[in-house]
Structure 1
């Protein structure tokens, strides 16, 4: 299991109800207009993350290893993993 480093920020996933589970549908164009500068920095999420890639492709780093992900694909990211998009 990866060693935790205090200098890497943790993104809080809790929604307005205080739950640690968030389900939403995002499109690449929405992410670009929303400004995903924080996601471009190495970070962790405070919960388990699942991504369903239906179309397009995604390049990301998981624990400092680069991945080019092609659809159809489900990506699981554990809270201890350090990620960057």
Structure 2
């Protein structure tokens, strides 16, 4: 006798994915959820870390320029930086 194809699949053959080695829908949803949570964490933490950077007025006061080419060997000069004295010496070889 010939087998009759009814066109109806049983749950055992169509819905079973226990032996399937491919990517399941649940795996994709888990990866997407973790990626979304990671992006949200970065978007939340970045402004908090960025506000700890120094402001522009602090960076402007952070440096001082002094011409040291005019200092002779053995001579020292005094300059100020943030209202504090800074001593610059050109030491001798000895």
Fold agreement, TM-score > 0.5: no
* The structure with more strand, counted as a fraction of residues: 1
More helix by share: 2
Higher relative contact order (CA 8 A, sep 6+): 1
The structure whose Rg is larger is 2
Normalised-by-shorter TM-score class: under 0.3
